[in-house]
A = this chain, B = another copy of it.
Amino acid sequence: MLIEQRLEKIKAIIEVERSATMAYLAEKLKVSKDTIRRDLIKLEDQNILRRTHGGAVSLDREAAIFNYQQRSKKHNQIKEQIAYKTAELIKNNCSIIFDSSTTVEAVIRKLHNKTIYAITNSLTHAILLAQFKKTEVAVLPGALHKEQLFLYGSETVKKIEHYHTDYTILGVFAISADGLFIHTEAEGLVKRQMIEQGDTVIAVADHTKLNTTGLFKVCDLNAIDVLITDQVPQQEFLTSLQNNNVNIITLD
């Protein structure tokens, strides 16, 4: 492989995943960490990324453009790990409905070398997915949520019905023994329909979302096939999940 080709690949990975460790890049590109380090120095000189201890991060031009909210470093890491676990579950060559959520976005960033037919109501997800060579993207219609840049409303729900996918990946706002919850009906109806259309429904949530509820109930626990989270839930809630045949995956 040409050096230039390797540099292009590194650029692409950093752009999509926003960061990468040298070990990961070395493994992926089949060269030593030393070589990766030298490559990263070149790319840093070109102002394409910023080197960090053990890897590199993107310069995040997107962040300025899209007004992403700031997230704490610790929280981010958990999210990254949940995303990684989730991506491991996804078979190649499949169709996926992606719910609008920052955790789901982290999952998407891990999927860039899989062949996927993607359906989403999130403009930010759609733009991210558009960078993937092997991915086809369909965007749902609807009214645009002006802050969070997702589509919702009856048009959105109606259109989702036309699809049937291998997976639905949902970001969780609140989940308890009573089911999945969210704070607005508009979003809830969209999520509810997305759940209907996916063969395997995967919910991703950090532990702060566990055992909490919200205004609008999206569905019962038995509608969820897999819950991916960072900590093992409390016994009572865990039993509820097991009784509803929810497959639980934690980070340990």
Q: Is the CB of A142 within 8 A of B139?
A: yes
| A2 (CB) vs chain B CBs: closest residue | B55
A140 at the interface (CB under 8 A from B): yes
Residues from 141 to 183 in A contacting B, C-beta threshold 8 Å: 141-144, 146-147, 149, 151, 155, 159
Q: Does A123 contact B (CB under 8 A)?
A: yes
- The verdict on A146 contacting B141 (CB below 8 Å), with A19-B2, A52-B2, A53-B2 known, is no
Least CB distance, A132 to chain B, in whole angstroms: 8
A127 within 8 A of B: yes
- Copies of this chain in its oligomeric complex: 2
A3: Cβ under 8 A from any B Cβ? yes
Query: Within 8 Å of chain B (Cβ to Cβ): is A70?
Result: no
Partner of A53, one of B3, B20, B130: B3
Least CB distance, A210 to chain B, in whole angstroms: 32
Category for how many chain A residues contact B = 35 or more
Minimal Cβ-Cβ distance residue in B for A119: B141
Give chain B residues whose Cβ lies under 8 Å from the Cβ of A4.
19, 52, 55, 57
| Secondary structure call for the A interface | mixed
Determine the chain B residues whose CB is within 8 A of the CB of A45 once the complex forms.
none
Contact B127 A138 (CB under 8 A): no
Answer whether residue A238 sits at the interface, using C-beta atoms and an 8 A cutoff.
no
Name A138's contact: one of B54, B130, B138, B141 (CB within 8 Å). B141
Is A235 interfacial (CB-CB < 8 Å)? no
A97→B199 CA distance, assembly (Å): 36
A5 contacts the other chain (CB 8 A): yes
Judge if A136 is at the interface, Cβ distance under 8 Å: yes
CA distance A32 to B121 in the complex (A): 45
**Residue pair B138, A143 in contact (C-beta under 8 Å):** yes
- 16 chain-A/chain-B pairs, Cβ below 8 angstroms: A1-B21, A2-B20, A2-B57, A4-B55, A5-B19, A66-B127, A123-B123, A123-B139, A130-B146, A130-B149, A137-B144, A138-B143, A138-B155, A141-B141, A141-B159, A155-B159
